[in-house]
Structure 1
Amino acid sequence: MDFTVEIKDMIAMVVSILCGGAIGFEREYKNKSAGFRTIILISLGSTIFTIVSQHGAQTDDRISANIITGIGFIGAGVIFKDKISVHGLTTAAVIWTSAAIGMTAGIGYHALALCLTLITLGVLLMVTRVERIIAQLQKEQFLSVTFRDPNFHQIENLESVLQAKGLILERIEIAKDDDHLIVIFKVSGKKELLVEMSETLATRLEIISFS
């Protein structure tokens, strides 16, 4: 490998570190699981593997292609689910995007890598404002509630409580299982009302479980 190629690859790694650092700073600032150092290493690692796939012995672009598979495992590690929602999807997507930016720098498209970094930061910084706007809109979700006793008055009471909070409910299905009533609702309302609904359901003694 000649000196010119080595300088080009070193520039690619520097660009990769700058791009990963910019995105990682935003993630670190928001206290996400994949922060400053992690994103830098992901971006830099992708760049190095891309360079190796171009200049290494027995050059094979499968090395570069397998970066996507490897990054998938890392991304899956930051995703976790609780009973109400899924967390970490955005961070996993950022990891995937950072790897792509690192690969872009690795093949020598430095300006494009920097441009993609700015676009990624723009999306991450704008997402909070957009989510606030979306939160003001009506949202729908399906709610499954298991009542302790097979008493239909419980359903009407729960509907009255939730409707009083500004939610719109529609019964989709009612079933009975081992002396328990299982009711599926379609619920419409603003995001904050849907979050408050989960808190309300958790305090109702007549409800065994909900999802």
Structure 2
Amino acid sequence: MSSLFVAIFSYLMGTISGSFLIGKYHFNMDIRQEGSGNAGTTNAIRVMGLKFGFLTFLIDFLKGSLTVYLVKYTLGPSYVYLSMFFCVLGHVFPFYMHFKGGKGVATTMGASLLIGFYPSLLGIIIWSIGALTTRLISLWSILLYCFLPFFYYFLEKGTFSKGQFSLLLLTCLLGLYRHKDNIKRLLRGEEKKLGG
């Protein structure tokens, strides 16, 4: 019963979309109808500017952290991986947005940081340096999803079960799935740099 509660609660928390709310209530628009059509940070920066793009990132990051924090300190740490997965799932497929949400990068970072601090911090630092220097946000987001399970395996080994690690893998696979179009464009050399 607790697992079902965690799944529903975390999914609903994940559906809080920073870019959608800012676009709707500050700009009177649907972010999904602008730019790339994605309800995430990169498109928010392109459409609404750096300030609101950063605010989008912050909202999505903090909702991931807050969701895992609440689950961890009310039901226990054994549920945090389940919470992270369903929070990201809610961000990616929010029911009230016709299941058309963001790609889950900021939410994954925020949730993961409350679960495995050192592997997450390492991933965030590498992502930040790579994204800022190349301005290819999608490339470094894809690499983050690829390397995060390895960082957990080597830095947090022994602290999670096979089931919990499987949930981490599913979270990262979900992120990679949402980046499938970016992967295709990167392979064709057609992916646009942020600000390019």
Which one has the bigger helix percentage? 2
Of structures 1 and 2, the larger Rg is shown by 1
Normalised TM-score (structure 1): 0.33
**Larger RCO, structure (CA 8 Å, separation 6 or more):** 2
